[in-house]
Amino acid sequence: MDNFEPVIVAFCCHYCAYTAADMAGSQRLSYPANVKIIRVPCSSKVDALHIVKAFEKGADGVYVAGCLEGDCHFKNGNSRAVRLVEYVQKYMDEIGIERERLEMVMMSAGMGYRFAQVATEITEKIRKLGPSPIHAAISL
């Protein structure tokens, strides 16, 4: 798969990560088009089901992006999201999907640069991993 273009879903909290993505936009910071953002009010709104469904539909990578540690607009939503991501990673082990395909990242609203950097790094990582086994199986 030389021309493999992974599809990556980024669940972004409204107050920090989504704003950071807008900042990346207004600063014209380029990052791979593979990342598709789904806006949620808080990273803790992301349900294990949303992540698992994303992989089931064929996502090659998923990441949940919330506010910096201690900066959650809703007190502790981001630290709950961290625990959720770890929990789902264990389930991915059971299913047989590399846990590296799921990640929790944190950034502040002003970090347009970090948003672009994270999007680039995760895309590169997933590109190296290749298509997710589910994606590969669906495409067969």
Smaller CB separation from another protein, 46 or 103: 46
The whole-angstrom separation of Cα 49 and Cα 47 is 5
The whole-angstrom separation of Cα 55 and Cα 26 is 31
The distance of closest approach from Cβ of residue 63 to another protein in the complex, given in angstroms and rounded to an integer, is 14
The distance of closest approach from Cβ of residue 70 to another protein in the complex, given in angstroms and rounded to an integer, is 6
The whole-angstrom separation of Cα 134 and Cα 46 is 21
Q: What are the residues binding another protein (CB under 8 A)? A: 5, 7, 9, 14-15, 18-19, 21-22, 24-31, 33, 36-42, 44-50, 52-59, 70-77, 80, 84, 91, 94-97, 108-110, 116, 133-135, 137-139
The distance of closest approach from Cβ of residue 71 to another protein in the complex, given in angstroms and rounded to an integer, is 6
Q: Are 135 and 50 in contact (CB under 8 A)?
A: no
Phi/psi of residue 66, nearest 5 degrees: -125, -170
The distance of closest approach from Cβ of residue 11 to another protein in the complex, given in angstroms and rounded to an integer, is 8
Smaller CB separation from another protein, 27 or 128: 27
Q: Which of 5, 94, 7 is nearest to 48 (CA)?
A: 94
